[in-house]
Amino acid sequence: MGDMEEMMKISLPKGTKDILPEEMKKWNYVERAFSTALRNAGYGEIRIPVFEYTELFNRGVGDTTDIVQKEMYTFTDKGNRSLTLRPEGTAGVVRSYIDKGMSSMPQPVKLFYNITAYRYENVQKGRYREFNQLGAEVFGVEKPNADIEIISVLGIFFTSIGIGNLSLELNSIGCKTCRPTYNEKLKEYYKDKIDGMCDDCKRRYETNPLRLIDCKKENCKAASKDVPYITDNLCEECSVHFAGVKNGLNKMDIKYTVNKGIVRGLDYYTKTVFEFVSENVGTQGTICGGGRYDGLVEALGGKDVPGIGFSMGTERLLMEMDSRGIGFGEERRPEIYFVTIGDNAYAYARKLSCALRRAGIYTEMDLLGRSVKAQMKDANRKNALYTVVIGEDEISQNKAVITIMDTGDKREVSLDSIYKRIIEKKV
Ligand code: HAM
């Protein structure tokens, strides 16, 4: 059997993981806090499909990006359609906004999501092939109000899970008015440097010169030393918008630094971009990334509606919390553990457990036919508040002893009063 098991063992695909119940408690804690922070600001939850037509990401995320060029899980289905596992959430949410006619609903439309995403990446600390994103998108707001709101909601969320002091880095990367002129300026700057830069940069030089600034390779970083930044080359409209965002954040006492080097890795961004960073989450350090995408809805076939949003890797949030030693809320204790002796008592306790669980009480009992001693040990290990031992005598005499586990105090009560006592918390 041992050999057979060895032979049959199938391992986890690289870059994926199982999340077991102990770990899942942390996930639930963070996901609940996120949902609370977003709902308190008037955002509604949206679910989108795991796969979409490949075309959506080619056009949405942008076919010059690393994501589209190298990282997508694309396959042909049995009907010969090209489908792709979502590498992020924004494109799908925008597709749904258009598809479901959300532009005719009262604006702004404010949505949040909790999704898995898929990128064929080099796996390392904080970087996986299947990962999770908590994110939000706001449609229909041109003014800096939306930029300020989402950043402040993020601040509330981070504070609620104990990591309120992450660094916020902010930039503006222009729009369709100022970007083309700036791109020309960039190409001029890199003209005699590009030969010494990496192959990716050579490609970007032609397709998306803004990304040259972002390359992490040493040679390329050196070449970008005196690069002109878009932040200093914004058109009037973008400058006014950026000033409005900074002013709004200042008035709310939200700390940020302008980082002119932030250009983001997705093509749809215009004007405001931002990242929340920490040194605890591996090479990249970015916990949350986001920005404005005023041309995306239109580019994907919808009306000319502005948008802005963010998303963050849940794994990276949890890493940040773990590395700071932050707790994940109170451990849930079973309110009652039934220790049983014999089949009759077991059947009785099982019915009672069911009734208590139905009433919302966390109730435990044995499933393995264990001895009384082993059941008691289990009740201790699970940190139950009360235990009740039920055997033949207890049933025939309608009485039972409740032990208050924290103090060891014991109380004799009638068996049929237990339900009422537990529900009314009068033990
Ligand atoms: P992104 O910067 O590609 O932006 O990803 C956002 C966050 O997802 C990252 O900051 C990181 O925490 C997490 N993340 C990305 N890739 C991985 C990975 N391979 N493993 C673990 N975590 C990862 C977006 O996805 C945009 N859709 C954000 C946005 C929404 N912009 C506007 N609206």
What is the spatial distance between Cα 402 and Cα 412, in angstroms, rounded to a whole number? 6
- The runs of H, that is alpha helices, within 20-138 are 21-39, 54-57, 66, 90-99
Ligand 1 atom at shortest distance from the alpha carbon of 87: 25
In the reported structure, the alpha carbon of residue 149 is separated from the centroid of ligand 1 by a whole-number distance in angstroms of 20
Confidence of residue 333 (pLDDT cuts 50, 70, 90): very high
Closest Cα to residue 386, out of 344, 352, 343? 352
Give pLDDT, residue 331.
Answer: 79
Closest Cα to residue 132, out of 50, 12, 10? 50
In the reported structure, the alpha carbon of residue 198 is separated from the centroid of ligand 1 by a whole-number distance in angstroms of 24
Contacts of residues 294-299 at CB distance under 8 Å and 24 or more positions apart, as own/partner, are 294/142, 294/175, 294/270, 295/175, 295/176, 295/268, 295/270, 296/60, 296/90, 296/94, 296/268, 297/94, 297/97, 297/98, 297/103, 297/139, 299/59, 299/60, 299/268
What is the CB neighbour count within 10 angstroms for residue 235? 16
Pocket test of ligand 1: the residue of 34, 124, 133 to mutate, having most ligand atoms within 8 Å of its CB, is 133
Q: What is the mean pLDDT of residues 80-88?
A: 98
Give pLDDT, residue 330.
Answer: 74
Give pLDDT, residue 280.
Answer: 75
What is the spatial distance between Cα 308 and Cα 344, in angstroms, rounded to a whole number? 62
Give pLDDT, residue 231.
Answer: 97
Beta carbons of 308 and 290 less than 8 angstroms apart: yes
In the reported structure, the alpha carbon of residue 42 is separated from the centroid of ligand 1 by a whole-number distance in angstroms of 23
CA atoms within 13 A on the CB side of 318: 20
What is the CB neighbour count within 10 angstroms for residue 181? 12
Beta carbons of 226 and 213 less than 8 angstroms apart: no
Beta carbons of 172 and 182 less than 8 angstroms apart: no
With b meaning 16 or more CB within 10 Å and e meaning fewer, what string describes 124-162? eebbbbebbbbbbbbbbbeebebbbbbbebbbebbebbe
Beta carbons of 112 and 38 less than 8 angstroms apart: yes
| Residue 60 Cβ < 6 Å to ligand 1 | no
Q: Determine phi and psi for 407, rounding to 5 degrees.
A: -110, -20
In the reported structure, the alpha carbon of residue 166 is separated from the centroid of ligand 1 by a whole-number distance in angstroms of 16
Mean pLDDT is highest, among 208-212, 217-221, 343-347, for: 343-347
| Residue 30 Cβ < 6 Å to ligand 1 | no
Strands of 82-85's sheet in order across: 51-53, 82-85, 74-76
Beta carbons of 129 and 15 less than 8 angstroms apart: yes
Give pLDDT, residue 281.
Answer: 73
Report pLDDT digits (tens) over 30-60: 999 999 999 999 999 999 999 999 999 999 9
Closest Cα to residue 281, out of 244, 313, 250? 313
> Helix, strand, or coil here: 407?
coil
E-state strands within 281-415: 286-292, 307-313, 336-340, 363-365, 386-390, 400-404, 410-413
User: pTM for the full model?
Assistant: 0.91
Q: What is the mean pLDDT of residues 357-365?
A: 95
Give pLDDT, residue 208.
Answer: 87
Mean pLDDT estimate for the chain: 94
Q: Is the pLDDT of residue 5 over 70?
A: no
With b meaning 16 or more CB within 10 Å and e meaning fewer, what string describes 199-221? ebbeebbeebbbbbbbbeeeebe
The percentage of residues in the chain with a pLDDT greater than 90, rounded to a whole number, is 89
What is the spatial distance between Cα 163 and Cα 88, in angstroms, rounded to a whole number? 24
Give pLDDT, residue 415.
Answer: 93
Strands 336-340 and 363-365, bridge-based pairing: parallel
Q: Is the pLDDT of residue 219 over 80?
A: yes
Ligand 1 atom at shortest distance from the alpha carbon of 264: 2
Beta bridge partners of residue 282, listed in sequence order: none
| Residue 89 Cβ < 6 Å to ligand 1 | yes
Q: Is the pLDDT of residue 2 over 70?
A: no
The lowest-confidence range among 205-209, 237-241, 282-286, 413-417 is 282-286
CA angle 117, 261, 265 (to 5 degrees): 25
Confidence of residue 345 (pLDDT cuts 50, 70, 90): very high
Report pLDDT digits (tens) over 196-218: 999 989 988 988 899 899 888 99
| Residue 135 Cβ < 6 Å to ligand 1 | yes
Give pLDDT, residue 402.
Answer: 95
Pocket test of ligand 1: the residue of 121, 311, 316, 321 to mutate, having most ligand atoms within 8 Å of its CB, is 311
| Residue 65 Cβ < 6 Å to ligand 1 | no
Contacts of 222 (CB under 8 A, 6+ apart): none
Give pLDDT, residue 67.
Answer: 94
What is the spatial distance between Cα 34 and Cα 26, in angstroms, rounded to a whole number? 12
Please tell me the residue having the least CA distance from ligand 1 atom 10: 288
Q: What is the mean pLDDT of residues 142-170?
A: 95
Beta carbons of 307 and 296 less than 8 angstroms apart: yes
- The residue behind tokens 């059947």 is 347
Give pLDDT, residue 3.
Answer: 61
Confidence of residue 311 (pLDDT cuts 50, 70, 90): very high
Confidence of residue 425 (pLDDT cuts 50, 70, 90): confident
Q: Is the pLDDT of residue 283 over 70?
A: no
Q: Is the pLDDT of residue 97 over 90?
A: yes
- The runs of H, that is alpha helices, within 40-130 are 54-57, 66, 90-99
Helices (H) and strands (E) in the chain, counts: 16, 16
In the reported structure, the alpha carbon of residue 312 is separated from the centroid of ligand 1 by a whole-number distance in angstroms of 6
Give pLDDT, residue 327.
Answer: 82
Give pLDDT, residue 8.
Answer: 83
Element (DSSP H or E) covering residue 369 = none
Q: Is the pLDDT of residue 1 over 90?
A: no
| Residue 287 Cβ < 6 Å to ligand 1 | yes
First to last CA, the chain: 50
Q: What is the CA radius of gyration of the chain?
A: 28
Q: What is the mean pLDDT of residues 78-85?
A: 98
Please tell me the residue having the least CA distance from ligand 1 atom 31: 290
Confidence of residue 242 (pLDDT cuts 50, 70, 90): very high
Beta carbons of 87 and 57 less than 8 angstroms apart: yes
Report pLDDT digits (tens) over 380-415: 999 999 999 999 999 999 999 999 999 999 999 999
Ligand 1 atom at shortest distance from the alpha carbon of 309: 33
